[in-house]
Structure 1
């Protein structure tokens, strides 16, 4: 008998007059080094809703079925762009503000940088700190991906299509990423606590060559990736409702001290640690 395919988990909730639905399902085992997770979502609110999206060690793909949301320039809240059909956001070192008019519906795929490199077939430096129209970046054969996904009757069918499309691209990829994949995994496994000189020695390359490899296949140097990994661990910890003083959190997640943590939080979120923590707690109610 073949392995059972998991079904999407669907969670519905409300907050005040806002209502939402979130569908999630783990990616197929062979795709997990490349797809961190994917989710389908619908949200209705009585008026405009704005969010602060925080940087993470991933490339975000949004396929929109409803009116396109507003995406503001990184680190800003004035200039914005809409991307009909969705967008792709590369790695960045600061936050991005998004906003919708009271309704949004779509599918989000969070790719590892290596996964994005293989799927889109472009150097990740082309996406670093940028948001790009998804239809402009998708491979030609998947130009109608948004329409095909919207036409499907269930979230499971949509997740199946994403997996097939990605699997095809993975089988066709001729880009050599093994060295950077190993180094990326090492940084993630150690929560960002990796000495970059030691990492270069383990790989058998100069630090400059390692940085060049990371810029092409990840989009940022390994030192910044390590900071993003450490910060993302902190974010997930706080979104889960965990407690702890800032000094305790700094020690737990490998910061030199509380001041070091505060500097990273302020750069990555554009606000104070206390306010950032409150916003993350508010968002925790929408986690599956």
Structure 2
């Protein structure tokens, strides 16, 4: 649940932690920097597939271990929550790739493959945020606390290079189908320089980011009630064949397309005892 503050425009790929289009947006200065979702989740573990952005998750149960209460997952990282004694409110904030560089205030390749305590990134202020969220009622007040915290971090952080921003938006606009060599030429950089800057400022090289865009676009189209044929979905989203589609499901969600669809929850996460093969791993390097 939550009440959104709409923003004009976007940095690119839909940044919804959920599978639908209704997640509230975190908007600063007219630009969308991420999405916010607040959900009451079952006590059993649940899993979040990899995304092209950086995800914060905050558990608000009093008995949740401190190290698990607030976590930051880097670009392309899958994660799971611990098993708890009861239903727990969780807040998910998924930062778009360009805004994550500003909000984290550090090169994003330092966070690749990591799932770290929010306090290790932001120190004492992160613990103060967690306490304020626990003491606040669900809804607008929690949203405003998160929005103010993100705004303060973004104001202090570095700006991505204009060439990186342009290349990222081009990838998003084409659904991840732009040839990387042409992308480098379009922004006036060498291929290797583009790779280095993408890793530093977005966390992953352009090819991996393009795959994450394709995968996210596809899973946002999934309808568990009226599922479309996988071969049609693969073709519509730029996959060469179903084998490449299955590879991305295995790498980015740790499961098969059919199991993904069966385990899908409204939050865009997965709840299924068989969906566990990734074991909190990040996507493989290209």
Q: How does 1:1-288 map to 2 (within 5 A)?
A: 8=3, 24-28=23-27, 30=29, 32-35=31-34, 37-43=35-41, 45=42, 48-66=43-61, 67-68=63-64, 83-92=67-76, 95-101=78-84, 102-138=86-122, 141-238=125-222, 241=225, 243-280=227-264, 283-284=265-266
Task: Give the structure with the higher percent strand.
Answer: 1
After superposition, the CA RMSD in angstroms is: 2.6
After superposition, give the CA deviation of every residue in 1:42-88 in whole Å (9 maximum; x if it has no partner). 23x4xx5132321111111012211437xxxxxxxxxxxx7243100
Q: Where does the alignment leave 5 or more consecutive residues of structure 2 unmatched?
A: 5-21, 270-286
Contact 2:52 2:75 in 1 (8 A): yes
| Larger displacement relative to structure 2 (149-158 or 247-256) | 149-158
1: CA distance between counterparts of 2:260 and 2:250? 9
After superposition, give the CA deviation of every residue in 1:121-149 in whole Å (9 maximum; x if it has no partner). 11101111110100111265454111122
Inter-CA distance 109–32: structure 2 relative to 1 (3 Å threshold): farther
1: CA distance between counterparts of 2:94 and 2:216? 13
Contact 2:175 2:210 in 1 (8 A): yes
- The structural deviation recorded for 1:170 is 2.7
- The structural deviation recorded for 1:243 is 2.6
Contact 1:241 1:284 in 2 (8 A): no
Contact 2:109 2:203 in 1 (8 A): yes
Higher relative contact order (CA 8 A, sep 6+): 2
- Equivalences, count: 249
Contact 1:61 1:86 in 2 (8 A): yes
After superposition, give the CA deviation of every residue in 1:226-249 in whole Å (9 maximum; x if it has no partner). 001101111111157553211111
Q: Where does the alignment leave 5 or more consecutive residues of structure 1 unmatched?
A: 1-6, 10-22, 70-81
1: CA distance between counterparts of 2:163 and 2:177? 19
2: CA distance between counterparts of 1:89 and 1:184? 20
Alignment TM-score, normalising by the size of structure 2: 0.78
Alignment TM-score, normalising by the size of structure 1: 0.77
Contact 1:58 1:91 in 2 (8 A): yes
After superposition, give the CA deviation of every residue in 1:220-276 in whole Å (9 maximum; x if it has no partner). 101000001101111111157553211111111100112221222222222222222
Q: Secondary structure at the match of 1:41?
A: strand
1: CA distance between counterparts of 2:205 and 2:76? 11
1: CA distance between counterparts of 2:105 and 2:73? 15
After superposition, give the CA deviation of every residue in 1:179-223 in whole Å (9 maximum; x if it has no partner). 212221221221111110000000100111001101111111010
